[in-house]
């Protein structure tokens, strides 16, 4: 191949690559926005759950046998039936207060996303007193029918919830 043909081929390849990358960046930006919205819906559902209303939490999760929950009470739960059960038990505790994410980091793939943050706020502990919440959390999301749904939640332990 002559140098001029090689240069033209290289320019064509680089142009195609740049076009594909730019197109991917737009899709990734839209997905990141949707993942951030799904994460915000999770925290809105979490705060509703503290009042005893578990219905919004059931909406944000994928109802799959492979979802996982490693929450502030310890242990690992696998499958929607176990995860739903723990949310219902926590809702019945009516811990009150609010917990919100801070210092949010989002990594988005084509159909999986990871959100890492600090969960900060306050709830009522077992003694009925207000307790500060300040723990690390990782939320996992997967595209389910074109919508981002939670498939995993992992946090540090809270001593007043740990078994």
Angle ∠(25,67,133) on CA atoms, nearest 5: 85
> 153 near 137, Cβ under 8 Å?
yes
Domain ranges (residues) in the chain: 31-155
Residue range 29-56, pLDDT digits in tens? 889 999 999 999 999 999 999 999 999 9
Instruction: Provide the 3-class DSSP secondary structure of residue 159.
Output: coil
Question: Is the model's pLDDT at 10 over the cut of 80?
Answer: no
Structure tokens at 36: 């951030």
Residue range 89-133, pLDDT digits in tens? 999 989 899 999 999 999 999 999 999 999 999 998 778 889 999
CB proximity list for 37: less than 8 A, separation 6 or greater: 148
Q: Taking the complete model, does pTM exceed 0.85, yes or no? A: no
pLDDT band at 2 (very low <50, low <70, confident <90, very high): low
Domain 31-155 has CATH 3.30.565.10: no
């Amino acid at each position: 191949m002559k140098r001029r043909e090689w240069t033209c081929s290289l320019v064509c390849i680089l142009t195609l690559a740049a076009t594909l990358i730019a197109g991917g960046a737009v899709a990734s930006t839209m997905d990141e926005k949707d993942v951030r919205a799904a994460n915000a819906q999770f925290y809105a559902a979490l705060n509703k759950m503290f009042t005893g209303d578990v219905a919004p939490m059931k909406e944000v999760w994928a109802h799959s046998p492979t979802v996982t929950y490693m929450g502030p009470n310890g242990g690992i739960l696998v499958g929607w039936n176990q995860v739903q059960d723990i949310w219902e038990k926590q809702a019945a505790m009516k811990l009150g207060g609010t917990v919100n994410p801070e210092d949010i980091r989002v990594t988005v793939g084509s159909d999986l996303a990871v959100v890492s943050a600090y969960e900060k706020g306050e709830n009522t502990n077992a003694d009925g007193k207000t307790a500060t919440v300040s723990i690390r959390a990782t939320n996992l999301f997967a595209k389910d029918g074109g919508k981002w749904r939670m498939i995993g939640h992992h946090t540090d332990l809270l001593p007043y919830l740990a078994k």
